[in-house]
């Protein structure tokens, strides 16, 4: 019953209540916690939690009426806003855009829209929400043969054929096989011989069937870890710190197996879909169709159906990326976050800017079940919160940990310090590229790496070549005047994309997706010498082809893995030995288990080391250690070659010695000195607007508003690392404070009031990408 004081026009009918009633109370509790912690309205949290299509949203849109627009329309318009809107709409094929988008793009949107509406050049309308519907198909079933004699010959024939086909066919098949028509079948249904029924078809990711897999007999360290995990009862948090190739996944599998027999379920989160095919295969091989994947690369229909299937309790193991933490899996008795250090567990936009590790912790608490965080390179947050008690006897980290004040409740420590079968971690060779140059080697490959690459094919072994690449590291510039081709909407250079052999070269903006062809002449000085710079995978692949023409390559990056199933295909090709070398970006660091790989090369570690971010060192160490960990996982010993211009960097030293502990020690001391996480906490306020002055002023006002709060340090306002993206100017304010000095929600609502409608504000709690 709606409240009496609610205006009738504000009340709408509930169209559909999700299948069997509502969510359990713990689920709502979870969503509410997220809303409070991330300063996000509950409805936004629900939008992120539920699959697209389950929750519709109506949209106000503006559409051009081209028949009313005269030639040279621009000359009639006085308002720049109206002109801008007209241009944007005209750039769309159907001349149609949402208010929301236009509002973000055009300053003075309301005024400009009015001009267009008054002239009759455009109309506005409401687009109603589009709900996903289950996909259904009609099935024909044989129910009664007894009436056989009363039927004519043709009808008898149909029933016979239906019987020959197991008594059940899809209507479309039945029509074809029995050479009949739907009305004839309806007639038979009326006679009571058959039943025609609507059945739901589940859309889900098609994955190859994998032969069954038996539990492996565990090593001592695995056994110990498993016993500790099985002995847990109720909510507990465990850090499973296992070096690369130590068999963490086997521990997960054996921890889950007994739960499934009891009818309980488990949630497994992984950072990126790039490694999911392999991991999913291992889970499917062990648990068959009790396993279902859930991630944003699924189609809308697949996500919708998978989500409902999970909701109905038809799945016992969900493997997915960060949004899978929201799947309404009943009876969860174990949550696992694999590669817990990975930054893709954090959502930057849209709000809530949640971290799956934080949400997983709450969910485990609410479900009263254990949470396992697994990694070879745990993040400092986890490292610090490993509690003294839980880790007694597990090594020297106690001394380290107790010297810092923990901000997170206790985390028990389990470790797998060795690789399976005592295989050694691969030796890491550091090559000083400055010296290479001095000694006359101008190639991007050091002599050591060249030699190793030569040997690969001779020895019938495989290698991985890692290239660090961030957004705009490849660009086109003019050799005559130095002009760089930039995106017209964003302050970034356009990146080069070689789409396919034979297709025109394309330049694309990685922020707003603007694209254009490669111009033949410099737009500024008309020189024909436009050159492409950078060290993306394409460039390295070209270089490899030149220097090692016999080496067979597979590129593994965002471009080559864009299509559905591409990850799996490329990895399968590689595993089948169809290539000698896998050349790729960060994706390669994420948990691939390729036992034939003996060589890992890092082309230039420097791009990772010198990022302007307090986490740069931690991230560089994690990435390099993870990449190095791909080598020597099988019978043959591995070898790692890291090329750098700064071999004296502490991260490089630590990677070389595989010494996570002393790296953490040094890094934590630095963080503590500056009160950065995990000791202090951060909140980042991101502001953006099409008006560069207004956004800067607003940022200033907000920063001033905070200045009298005790225990709060304000960094900024400062322009974001890339000031302009998609024509919006971006400023940010970083708030640093002790964990207990958190401002209350009412303070935050005041801040929103300080923001004019044209400036958008995102509150990023515990930000990672600053």
Residue ranges for the known binding site for Zn(2+) are: 478, 481, 487, 490, 509, 512, 522, 525
Instruction: Spell out the residues 6+ positions from residue 205 whose beta carbon is closer than 8 angstroms to its own.
Output: 293, 298, 302, 306
State the nearest-atom distance from the C-beta of 493 to Zn ion, in Å: 10
Q: Determine contact, residues 38/765, Cβ cutoff 8 Å.
A: yes
Short-list 562, 556, 547, CA closest to 574: 556
Nearer to Zn ion, 552 or 558 (CB): 558
Interface residue with ligand ADP, options 203, 204, 241, 248 (CB under 6 A): 248
State the nearest-atom distance from the C-beta of 87 to Zn ion, in Å: 17
State the nearest-atom distance from the C-beta of 645 to ligand ADP, in Å: 30
Interface residue with Zn ion, options 226, 317, 414, 478 (CB under 5 A): 478
State the nearest-atom distance from the C-beta of 346 to ligand ADP, in Å: 22
Nearer to Zn ion, 131 or 529 (CB): 529
User: What is the rounded CA–CA span in Å between residue 716 and residue 734?
Assistant: 6
Size of the site for ligand ADP (CB under 6 A): 15
**∠ CA(297), CA(102), CA(748), 5° rounding?**
80
- Choosing among ligand ADP, Zn ion, none, which partner's interface includes residue 218 (Cβ < 5 to 8 Å by kind)? ligand ADP
Residue 525 contacts Zn ion per CB under 5 A: yes
Backbone angles phi, psi at 265, to 5 degrees: -135, 170
State the nearest-atom distance from the C-beta of 482 to Zn ion, in Å: 7
Q: Which stretch binds Zn ion (CB under 5 A): 163-171, 469-477, 486-494, 573-581?
A: 486-494
Instruction: Tell me the per-residue interface mask from 419 to 458 with ligand ADP, x by CB under 6 A, - otherwise.
Output: -x--------------------------------------
Instruction: Kindly state the greatest CA–CA separation across the chain.
Output: 98
- Choosing among ligand ADP, Zn ion, none, which partner's interface includes residue 420 (Cβ < 5 to 8 Å by kind)? ligand ADP
Residue 531 contacts Zn ion per CB under 5 A: no
Residue 249 contacts ligand ADP per CB under 6 A: yes
Residue 246 contacts ligand ADP per CB under 6 A: yes
Interface residue with ligand ADP, options 51, 112, 247, 274 (CB under 6 A): 247
Backbone angles phi, psi at 95, to 5 degrees: 55, 45
User: Cβ of 529: how many Cβ atoms within 10 Å?
Assistant: 12
Short-list 139, 134, 120, CA closest to 69: 120
| Window 93-122: residues binding Zn ion (CB under 5 A) | none
Q: Which residues of 414-446 are buried (b: 16+ CB within 10 A; e: fewer)?
A: bbbebbbeebebbebbbbbbeebeeeeeeebbb
Nearer to ligand ADP, 270 or 642 (CB): 270
User: What is the rounded CA–CA span in Å between residue 49 and residue 65?
Assistant: 38
Q: Determine contact, residues 356/34, Cβ cutoff 8 Å.
A: no
User: What is the rounded CA–CA span in Å between residue 239 and residue 361?
Assistant: 12
3-state secondary structure of 585: coil
Residue 195 contacts ligand ADP per CB under 6 A: no
Binding residues: 478, 481, 487, 490, 509, 512, 522, 525
Interface residue with ligand ADP, options 213, 348, 388, 593 (CB under 6 A): 593
User: What is the rounded CA–CA span in Å between residue 531 and residue 116?
Assistant: 44
* Lookup: tokens for 746: 């009412």
Interface residue with Zn ion, options 28, 170, 362, 483 (CB under 5 A): 483
User: Cβ of 113: how many Cβ atoms within 10 Å?
Assistant: 21
Half-sphere exposure at residue 568, Cβ-oriented, CA atoms within 13 angstroms: 14
Nearer to ligand ADP, 270 or 761 (CB): 270
Tell me which residue has tokens 């710079």: 533
Residue 598 contacts ligand ADP per CB under 6 A: no
Nearer to ligand ADP, 281 or 606 (CB): 281
Q: Which stretch binds Zn ion (CB under 5 A): 242-250, 325-333, 489-497, 552-560?
A: 489-497
Residue 222 contacts ligand ADP per CB under 6 A: yes
Q: Which helix (H) or strand (E) holds 496?
A: strand 495-497
3-state secondary structure of 27: helix
User: What is the rounded CA–CA span in Å between residue 35 and residue 49?
Assistant: 11
Q: Which helix (H) or strand (E) holds 736?
A: strand 728-738
State the nearest-atom distance from the C-beta of 718 to Zn ion, in Å: 21
Backbone angles phi, psi at 131, to 5 degrees: -90, 140
Q: Which stretch binds ligand ADP (CB under 6 A): 58-66, 213-221, 229-237, 323-331?
A: 213-221
Q: Which stretch binds Zn ion (CB under 5 A): 339-347, 348-356, 413-421, 503-511?
A: 503-511
List residues near ligand ADP by CB under 6 A: 216, 218-219, 222, 242, 244-250, 420, 593, 633
List residues near Zn ion by CB under 5 A: 478, 480-481, 483, 487, 489-490, 509, 511-512, 514, 522, 524-525, 527
């Amino acid at each position: 019953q709606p409240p009496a004081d609610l205006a009738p026009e504000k009340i709408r009918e509930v169209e559909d209540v999700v299948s069997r009633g509502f969510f359990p109370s713990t689920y709502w509790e979870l969503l509410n916690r997220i809303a409070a912690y991330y300063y996000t309205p509950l409805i936004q949290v629900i939008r992120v939690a539920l699959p697209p299509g389950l929750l519709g949203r109506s949209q106000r849109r503006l559409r051009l009426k081209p028949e009313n627009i005269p030639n040279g329309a621009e000359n009639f318009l006085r308002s720049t806003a109206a002109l801008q809107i007209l241009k944007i709409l005209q750039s769309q094929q159907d001349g149609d855009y949402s208010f929301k988008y236009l509002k973000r793009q055009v300053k003075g949107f309301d005024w400009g829209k009015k001009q267009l509406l008054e002239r009759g050049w455009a109309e506005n309308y409401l687009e109603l929400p589009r709900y996903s519907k289950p996909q259904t198909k009609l099935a024909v079933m044989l129910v009664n043969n007894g009436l056989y004699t009363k039927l004519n010959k043709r009808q008898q024939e149909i029933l016979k054929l239906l019987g020959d086909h197991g008594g059940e066919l899809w209507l479309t098949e039945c029509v074809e096989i029995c050479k009949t028509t739907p009305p004839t079948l309806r007639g038979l249904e009326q006679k009571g011989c058959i039943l025609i029924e609507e059945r739901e078809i589940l859309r889900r990711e098609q994955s190859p069937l994998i032969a069954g897999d038996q539990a492996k007999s565990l090593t001592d360290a695995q056994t110990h870890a498993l016993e500790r995990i099985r002995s847990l009862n109720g909510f507990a948090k465990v850090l499973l710190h296992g070096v690369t190739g130590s068999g963490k996944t086997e521990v997960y599998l054996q921890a889950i197996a007994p739960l499934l027999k009891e009818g309980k379920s488990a949630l497994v989160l992984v950072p990126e879909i790039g490694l999911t095919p392999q991991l999913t295969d291992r889970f499917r091989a062990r648990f068959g169709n009790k396993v279902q994947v859930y991630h944003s690369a699924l189609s809308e229909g697949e996500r919708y159906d998978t989500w409902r299937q999970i909701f109905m309790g038809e799945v016992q193991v969900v493997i997915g990326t960060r949004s899978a933490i929201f799947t309404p899996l009943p009876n969860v008795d174990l949550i696992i976050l694999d590669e817990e250090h990975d930054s893709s567990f954090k959502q930057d936009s849209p709000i809530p800017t949640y971290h799956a590790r934080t949400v997983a912790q709450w969910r485990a608490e609410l479900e009263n079940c254990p949470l396992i965080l697994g990694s070879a390179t745990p993040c400092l947050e986890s490292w610090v919160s490993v509690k003294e008690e839980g880790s007694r006897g597990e090594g020297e980290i106690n001394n380290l940990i107790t010297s810092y004040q923990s901000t997170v409740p206790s985390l028990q420590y389990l470790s797998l310090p060795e690789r399976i079968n005592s295989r050694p971690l691969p030796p890491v060779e550091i090559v000083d590229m400055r010296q290479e140059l001095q000694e006359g080697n101008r190639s991007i490959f050091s002599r050591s790496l060249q030699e190793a690459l030569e040997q690969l094919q001779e020895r019938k072994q495989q290698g991985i070549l890692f290239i660090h690449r961030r957004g705009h590291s490849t660009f086109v510039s003019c050799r005559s005047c130095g002009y760089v081709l930039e995106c017209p909407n964003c302050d970034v250079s356009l990146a080069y994309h070689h789409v396919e052999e034979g297709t025109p070269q394309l330049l694309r903006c990685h922020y707003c997706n603007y694209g254009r062809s490669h111009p033949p002449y410099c737009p500024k000085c008309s020189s024909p010498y436009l050159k492409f710079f950078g060290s993306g995978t394409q460039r390295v692949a070209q270089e490899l082809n030149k220097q090692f023409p016999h080496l067979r390559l597979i590129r593994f990056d965002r471009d080559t893995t864009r299509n559905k199933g591409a990850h799996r295909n490329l990895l399968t090709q590689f595993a089948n030995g169809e290539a000698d070398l896998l050349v790729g970006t960060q994706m390669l660091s994420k948990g691939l288990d390729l036992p034939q790989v003996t060589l890992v090369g890092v082309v230039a570690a420097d791009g990772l080391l010198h990022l302007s971010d307090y986490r740069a060192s931690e991230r560089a160490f994690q990435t390099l250690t993870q990449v190095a960990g791909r080598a020597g996982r099988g019978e043959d010993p591995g070898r790692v070659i890291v090329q750098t211009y700064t071999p004296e960097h502490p991260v490089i030293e630590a990677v070389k010695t595989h010494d996570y502990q002393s790296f953490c020690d040094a890094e934590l001391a630095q963080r503590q000195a500056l009160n950065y996480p995990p000791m202090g906490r951060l909140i980042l306020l991101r502001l953006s607007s099409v008006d560069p002055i207004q956004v800067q002023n607003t940022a200033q006002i907000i920063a001033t508003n905070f200045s009298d709060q005790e225990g709060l340090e304000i960094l900024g306002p400062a322009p974001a690392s890339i000031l302009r993206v998609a024509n919006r100017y971006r400023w940010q304010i970083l708030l640093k404070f002790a964990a207990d000095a958190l401002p209350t929600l009412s303070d935050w609502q005041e801040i929103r009031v300080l923001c004019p409608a044209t400036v958008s504000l995102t509150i990023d709690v515990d930000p990672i990408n600053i």
